[in-house]
A and B are shown apart, each in its own frame.
Chain A
Amino acid sequence: MNRVACLVAAGLLLVGCGSDVQLASPAPVTAAPTTAAAPTTSIAPEATCLGDEAVGRAPQSYPALESVPAATELPEGSTMEAIRERGALRVGVSSDTLLFGSRNPSSGEIEGFDIDMLKQVAMAIFGVSEEESYDYLELVVMPYSQRISKLLADEVDIVAHTMTVNCARWTRIAFSTEYYHAGQRLLVREVSPEVGEFASLEEFISDADATVCVPADGTSEEEIGARLVEAGADSKRMQAETEISDCLVLFQQGKVAAIASDDTVLAGLAIQDDPNAIVVGPFFSEEPYALGMQPGQVDFVQFVNAVLAGMREDGTWQAIYDRWLFGTLGEAKLPDARDDRPLP
């Protein structure tokens, strides 16, 4: 009605209504559709665990091949031959776990203990030198939470991502023998030389105000969650982050008092926070690391186990350990090769 009245008045007076021209607001733009999560394959669980998790030992893997075949003599129709024909080993790695898999900002390359393990596998498949082997890796950077799903979706052939092998995970994917034995500890603020704000996980849990950050969907989240429930503590004291480096940011900003993860990962974080952070307490869980592979690719698991066995014997494993971890973690015990899992 007002508009009609205005138009009548405008007809008489020729002017007088509000402006017909208006500065338009930008039209809303629809958000891009989010890519659906990779489908996960349902795998029948293994009949038995074949491990001894109570004492922190890795479950058995498939027996290693007697020797690593030459790159030109890979078994016909094998997984390794398919990878060689493809020209690249698709590997799942971290790019923010210092010492194990992190991007070197000057070279742009991802490097670390895990990456060197994968280089050895690539050297065996493609028959190339260690220097050349990086070029045969198709690096797929992934967070902790996608390590298994990416394997199941056939986006990678193998995952080297500080991944703990355990019975539950063996029900979904296959693993190599253990290539490093880690354990979970706590990163806390150093209050005086070699003394942390908390001395152990138990002391941390007893402080009702202290909060901890853990990587999401890792064994730390399960372990700390269970410990907090057991102690009747508020579960909100644990904050899970997709990226472990986000935990360090929260720690540096004083938003969490501690970070719980594998000692290997925490060692990398402590270097980045030097000299304020310290890794404390005994292992509150054992974390045997193994290379993850797709279930059903038993031949590839046996091949990788043979590569690992060779590394143990000829000193390559020790050399790689010394290159990346000795300076930070000190002497290490060569992990056992448990490979008595019956072949399917």
Chain B
Amino acid sequence: MTATQPSGSVGQPGGAAGLLAAAVKWLRSRLAGNTTPSLLRLAMVVTTALTVLFGVFGALGVSRREAALADARVAAEQLLAVQELRVNLVHADALASEAYLAGGEASGSLRTEYEAEIAAVGVGVAAVSNGSSPAVASALGEVAQQVARYAGLVEQAQANNRQGFPVGAAFLRQANTVVTKESVPLFTGLEQTLRGQVNSALDRASRAGAWLPLFGAAALAGLAVIGAWLSVRFRRLLNIPLALASGVVAVLLIVGYSMQADAITTAQDATAGPLTLADSAAQVRAAEFAARREETAVLIYRGNNQAQRDAFALAINTAAAAVRCPATECPVQAGVTRYRAAAESVIELSERDGDAAREASLNSSSADFRAAADAAGQETTEQGAAASAAFADSADGLGTLRVVVFAGALVAAALALAGLGQRLKEYR
């Protein structure tokens, strides 16, 4: 099939090029035969328009960047908060499993810790839902229902375990399924959405930065052309007010560009640095808790625990893969490695001596696990705080810049008008 050219367009300049040619033609016809006063008036209109446009759109661009950076900060903080909720829930699940394995009196402190984590999920869901998007709030509402069901199943598991009823282990298995198959996928989906929101806000912030230099450069160029025309037409080297107007625009352009670049660089550095590290450390922590849960479950379901063994291997591999070391010394990495060795040794021991494996799991492996989780938790807290602070810093000064750009552009417009008005007066 061959495309045919529409007959009406043959020989006609098309689109933007045609419009430009028509505009030039119109301008030439207007300028031809025009007197100097009318040209001066036209120059006044053009300089005013260019400087005011610079003021309006420059300030708007700064404002948009400021808003986008605030959005990025909110999304980043929500991401960290949602990750904390996931960690709370997976930690609660690990504690429930550990308490079941410990049985009897030993589980008292574990139970207290478990209840604190479940309560933290409830409080956290309410806090994050408040002020989040409807989609996020709805997903968190679903999580809240799942957690209530989960807690009920754990209660049944523990009650049966206290009476020595093996059915408790089956309830515990069902409870774990609620966490791993229902809640965790919801959380990871939410986290993915919030990562997307951070990236999208950074994109918007980056694009908004074009407005100030674009309109600033146009205003500066216009002032320069008109200044040059004046010096030729009136044989004077400099029109001081017009030169001052150009100077004001140039300063605004340089300072504004520099401050905006600083802002986006700070936000990007926060994303690539502390936010990425906090995100990774939170994933490491959640995976460590999942691994701990599976380690104890391997012992609880001894004899029929291939699924738990596979889940342990997957969780500990996930933890290892998520580690990001900010420095040569990496306590998170060391924690994962040490805990992996301890847990694998427990699992290996469980094949030969279940009771010894249980003791090792509740003592040495538990200590290594807690050290690893603490290291990842500390990294999450420190890097999360650093990311929040950096995002807050990134928008610092942009509010003032917005006002200064707008006011400065008006001053530049007034100076340009004064300079051109001076020549017009002299001409009369």
Contact = CB atoms under 8 A, between A and B. Distances in A.
Interface in B147-173: 160-171, 173
Interface in B290-314: 301-304, 306, 309-310, 312-314
The CB with the most chain B CB atoms within 10 A, among A16, A142, A143, A271, is that of A16
Nearest to B171: A249
Contact of A142 (B166, B276, B304, B355): B304
B260 interface: yes
B195 interface: yes
Contacts of A22: 199, 202, 271
Contacts of B358: 108
A21 B271 contact: yes
Interface of B is mostly: helix
* B interface bracket (residues with beta carbon within 8 Å of A): 35 or more
B257 A245 contact: no
Interface stretch (B50-58, B208-216, B413-421): B208-216
A29 B103 contact: no
Interface residues of A, number: 55
A109 B355 CA distance: 8
A307 B321 CA distance: 55
A20 interface: yes
Contacts, number: 152
B321 A27 contact: yes
Contact of B167 (A17, A29, A245): A245
Interface of A is mostly: loop
Contact of A141 (B161, B163, B195, B302): B302
Nearest to B316: A32
Contacts of A21: 202, 268-269, 271-272
B255 to A, nearest CB: 14
Interface string A7-37: 0010001111111111111110111111100
Given A34-B310, A108-B355, A25 B192 contact: yes
B213 A15 contact: yes
Interface in A239-294: 242-243, 245-246, 248-249, 252, 268-269, 271-273
B317 interface: yes
Contacts of B309: 32, 35
A269 B170 CA distance: 12
B207 A18 contact: yes
Contacts of A139: 354
Contact of B303 (A35, A109, A140): A140
A15 B301 CA distance: 59
B210 A9 contact: yes
A122 to B, nearest CB: 16
A19 B304 contact: no
A29 B314 contact: yes
A65 B327 CA distance: 71
Given A13-B214, A19-B268, A105 B207 contact: no
A146 B306 CA distance: 12
A98 interface: yes
Contact of A245 (B104, B170, B205, B313): B170
A29 B276 contact: no
Contacts of A25: 192, 195
A95 B261 contact: no
A61 interface: no
Interface in A304-335: none
Contact of A105 (B79, B161, B209, B214): B161
Given A14-B213, A105-B164, A272-B166, A31 B310 contact: yes
B78 interface: no
Given A15-B261, A16-B207, A19-B203, A246 B276 contact: no
A246 B209 contact: no
17 contacts: A13-B214, A14-B257, A16-B214, A18-B203, A18-B207, A21-B202, A23-B195, A23-B198, A23-B279, A97-B166, A98-B166, A105-B164, A108-B355, A109-B355, A138-B353, A140-B303, A249-B167
Interface of B: 76, 79, 103-104, 160-171, 173-174, 192, 195, 198-199, 202-203, 205-207, 209-210, 213-214, 217, 257, 260-261, 264, 268-269, 271-272, 275-276, 279-280, 283, 301-304, 306, 309-310, 312-314, 317-318, 321-322, 352-355, 358
Given A22-B199, A32-B310, A35-B306, 15 more contacts: A15-B261, A16-B207, A19-B264, A22-B271, A23-B79, A23-B279, A95-B302, A95-B303, A96-B166, A138-B352, A141-B302, A243-B170, A245-B167, A272-B167, A273-B167
Closest 5 CB pairs of A and B: A141-B303, A32-B313, A16-B210, A96-B166, A105-B103
